[in-house]
């Protein structure tokens, strides 16, 4: 796992500044604290920077940039290729010479043979750049699900790329300006959907995409993979796919996925929440490894609704793991400035706090960790998936009546209380389908226009814009197929994978996700809906496939999720902290948001008349980002993090 960056100049009279490439590279030292590398082409038109976290082949021969036999191809790579050993054997048989035993080097030689078609043979998580001197072409590519990040900035005379946006802060030719048009989308979702970012002119490379930049500035883009769900008329149970056959296939595919992800030359462990997905991963690891699995869990002080450590301990005892856990206290919010820095801006998912802490704890023991990310997205594990299916069958009159009744009930203290979930469900039941599923995942929805300054909100804002490129493909799918597709493309990509990558890599920890193995994802997508969701039960076929591994307490329990008790914290221990930030007459958010609305929301939450913990977290992160941003963009100034 590493950090990469680089630049190509389109104007031949200009040259890449190697000192700037180094400065960009050093912004990524947390992604690769073990070594660094630099390549600048002989004509000065291309520069590549690299920071290394040693995982496979710990020797200096695996340092990057890596090149082919004649030096005409240069690679910088972030990630892991899990099938590299099989690919290496094929390439050796074809006469290629290797200087290392790293997984990254197979890409160099595979690209020599196949060009960008090599991406179809790679199984893993990755973002990489290849400079091909033969064709004078710079190639950028990203893995299928988008586990590894890659950002780029393009102007008339150059293209600059990096694993994280903070690299661009070290480049004086890149204007670091806030894009005001991104702000409403942040407060809608808690993130700015890919390919956009908070910064004007800075884009994300989309998953499963390869970009080729020519020396004259011409760019070619191609998607090399697409997750395919069956058409609406093919999702019913099929006599050709039996439950026993599907269970066996899933068990085989996931076991192989876990085994591939155990290849490492450094210590390895697992995050263990006590949920179905992480339990299965740990159970398989315990059967595949010769020593006890090192497992790591986290809980919350003072709020059992957010604490899964009891279940994690139960699983740890079941599989005899070497278990470590940590309890998060309200003071952990002191990390917020550090989290904003590592996310390159505000991030609305407060579970980044425990994710960062458990990553920090885990890194003291291992360098690689497996997790259960993707299990809910692949096997339909969220309550809102079931809600989407049910809501399509409820008559509008019934929906309006249910909403009228539930809206009269005072909101409970916890957003995990069944009343809170029912109120959220009923409030969106009668919206059109795409608006309904967007409402269920949003922070602010109907009240967004009251929060955002009018000139920003009315400047072409569209709540459903994120779906535009996907609607044609989604229209032919079942209700469950539509929400699975949307969740994989947006929530998984922009929230869960971002959180895991940034929090783990902030601590120089590599996180691997067996549930996002391509063969598994492709196969499960083809299965009938009833194998994933049936009679209110989620992950039906997954539970059947691993019934012997799942303790009954884990199998029976509902989905908890990795949340944070913000509602309680903001009413008690963090009450004054929140007020000092958001009620200040000098608050910087006032340039973009309505101060009266924010003030009223803080007061309503602290009085207990509404539960706005998640919304207030998003506002807090936004304000702290605005305060910190000027310091980030000053040359040679490192961020001050972890303090108030």
pLDDT for res 634:
60
- Average pLDDT (262-267) is 95
Helices (H), 307-410: 309-319, 336-342, 352-363, 375-379, 383-391, 396-406
Domain boundaries defined on the chain = 2-223, 232-379+479-556
Q: Categorize the per-residue pLDDT at 331 as very low, low, confident or very high, splitting at 50, 70 and 90.
A: confident
Lowest model confidence (mean pLDDT) among 102-111, 266-275, 435-444, 451-460: 451-460
Q: Give me the mean pLDDT over the 498-526 stretch.
A: 97
Give per-residue pLDDT as tens, 184-199.
Answer: 999 999 999 999 999 9
Percent with pLDDT over 90 in the chain: 69
Q: Assess whether pLDDT exceeds 70 at residue 305.
A: no
Q: What is the pLDDT of residues 387-446, one digit of tens each?
A: 888 887 777 777 676 666 766 677 776 666 666 667 667 677 777 888 888 888 899 998
Is the predicted pLDDT of residue 636 greater than 50, yes or no?
A: no
Structure-block tokens of residue 36: 């660094």
pLDDT band at 150 (very low <50, low <70, confident <90, very high): very high
pLDDT at 552 (0 to 100):
85
Strands 322-328 and 294-300: parallel
Cα–Cα nearest to 77, from 58, 63, 88, 91: 63
CATH code, 2-223: 3.60.20.10
Mean pLDDT of 512-516: 98
| pLDDT on residue 417 | 64
Q: What is the pLDDT of residues 238-248, one digit of tens each?
A: 555 678 999 99
CA-wise closest residue to 504 among 160, 78, 152, 5: 78
Q: What residues have CB less than 8 Å from 194, skipping those under 6 apart?
A: 146, 204, 206, 207, 493, 494
Residue 639: its pLDDT value, please?
42
In this predicted model, what pLDDT tens digit does every residue of 550-571 receive, in sequence order? 998 887 776 555 567 888 889 9
Cβ pair 280, 546 in contact under 8 A:
yes
**Nearest Cα to Cα of residue 371 among 282, 502, 253:** 282
Edge-to-edge strand list for the sheet holding 219-223: 66-67, 73-81, 124-132, 137-142, 209-214, 219-223
Q: Identify the H or E element spanning 129.
A: strand 124-132
Going by C-alpha positions, the residue among 501, 577, 601, 416 that lies closest to residue 80 is: 501
In whole angstroms, what is the distance from residue 371 CA to residue 99 CA? 32
> pLDDT at position 185, please?
95
Catalytic residues: 2
Bridge-partner residues for 389, per DSSP? none
pLDDT single digits (tens) 346-372? 999 999 998 999 999 999 999 999 999
Domain boundaries 232-379+479-556, corresponding CATH code: 3.40.50.620
Fold equal for 2-223 and 232-379+479-556: no
pLDDT at 143 over 70: yes
Phi-psi label, residue 354: left if phi above 0, alpha if psi -120 to 50, beta otherwise: alpha
Region of residue 406 (phi > 0: left; psi between -120 and 50: alpha; otherwise: beta): alpha
**C-alpha dist (Å) from residue 315 to 234, 258, 549, 590:** 37, 18, 10, 48
């Amino acid at each position: 796992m590493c950090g990469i960056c680089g630049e190509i100049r389109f104007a031949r009279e200009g040259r890449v500044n190697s000192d700037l490439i180094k400065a960009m590279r050093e912004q990524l030292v947390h992604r690769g604290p073990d070594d660094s590398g630099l390549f600048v082409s002989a004509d000065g038109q291309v520069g590549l920077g690299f920071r290394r976290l040693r995982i496979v082949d710990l020797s200096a021969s695996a340092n990057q940039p890596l090149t082919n036999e004649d030096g005409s191809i240069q690679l910088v790579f972030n990630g892991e290729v899990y099938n590299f050993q099989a690919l290496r054997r094929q390439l050796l048989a074809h006469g290629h010479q290797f200087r290392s035993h790293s997984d990254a080097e197979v890409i160099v030689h595979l690209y020599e043979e196949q060009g960008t078609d090599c991406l179809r043979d790679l199984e893993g998580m990755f973002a990489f750049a290849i400079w091909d001197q033969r064709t004078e072409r710079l190639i950028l590519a990203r893995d299928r699900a988008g586990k590894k990040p890659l950002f780029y900035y393009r102007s008339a005379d150059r293209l600059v790329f990096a694993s994280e946006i903070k690299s661009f802060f070290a480049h004086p030719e890149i204007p670091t300006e806030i894009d005001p048009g991104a702000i409403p989308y942040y407060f809608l979702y808690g993130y700015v959907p890919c390919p956009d970012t908070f910064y004007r002119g800075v884009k994300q490379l989309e998953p499963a995409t390869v970009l080729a930049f020519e020396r004259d500035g011409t760019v070619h883009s191609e998607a090399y993979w697409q997750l395919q769900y069956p058409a609406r008329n093919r999702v019913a149970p099929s006599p050709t796919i039996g439950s026993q056959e599907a269970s066996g296939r899933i068990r085989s595919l996931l076991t192989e996925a876990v085994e591939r992800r155990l290849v490492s030359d450094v210590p390895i462990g697992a995050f263990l929440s006590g949920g179905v997905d992480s339990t299965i991963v740990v159970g398989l690891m315990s059967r595949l490894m010769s020593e006890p699995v090192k497992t790591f869990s986290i809980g919350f002080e003072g709020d059992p609704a957010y604490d899964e450590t009891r279940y994690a301990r139960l699983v740890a005892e079941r599989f005899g793991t070497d278990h470590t856990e940590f309890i998060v206290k309200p003071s952990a919010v002191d990390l917020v400035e550090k989290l904003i820095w590592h996310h390159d801006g505000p991030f609305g998912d407060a579970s980044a706090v425990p994710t960062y802490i458990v990553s920090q704890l885990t890194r003291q023991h291992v360098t690689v960790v497996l997790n259960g990310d993707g299990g809910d997205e692949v096997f339909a594990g969220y309550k809102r998936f079931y809600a989407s299916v049910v809501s399509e069958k409820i008559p509008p009159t019934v929906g309006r009546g249910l909403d009228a009744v539930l809206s009269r009930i005072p909101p409970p203290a916890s957003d995990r209380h069944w009343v809170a979930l029912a109120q959220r469900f009923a409030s969106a039941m009668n919206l059109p389908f795409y608006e309904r599923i967007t409402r269920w995942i949003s922070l602010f929805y109907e009240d967004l226009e009251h929060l955002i300054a009018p000139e920003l909100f009315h400047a072409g804002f569209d709540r459903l814009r994120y779906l535009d490129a996907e609607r044609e493909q989604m229209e032919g799918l079942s209700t469950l197929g539509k929400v699975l597709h949307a969740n994989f493309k947006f929530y998984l990509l922009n929230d869960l994978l971002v959180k895991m990558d940034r929090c783990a890599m902030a601590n120089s920890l590599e996180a691997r996700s067996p549930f996002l193995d391509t063969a598994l994802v492709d196969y499960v997508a083809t299965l009938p809906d009833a194998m994933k969701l049936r009679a209110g039960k989620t992950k039906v076929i997954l539970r059947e496939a691993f019934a012997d591994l799942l303790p009954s307490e884990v199998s029976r329990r509902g989905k908890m999720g990795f949340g944070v008790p913000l509602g309680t914290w903001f009413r008690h221990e963090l009450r004054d902290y929140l007020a000092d930030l958001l009620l200040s007459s000098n608050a910087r958010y006032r340039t973009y948001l309505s101060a009266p609305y924010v003030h009223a929301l803080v007061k309503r939450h602290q009085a207990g008349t509404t539960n706005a913990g998640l919304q207030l977290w998003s506002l807090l992160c936004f304000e702290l980002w605005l305060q910190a941003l000027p310091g980030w963009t000053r040359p040679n100034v490192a961020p001050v993090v972890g303090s108030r």
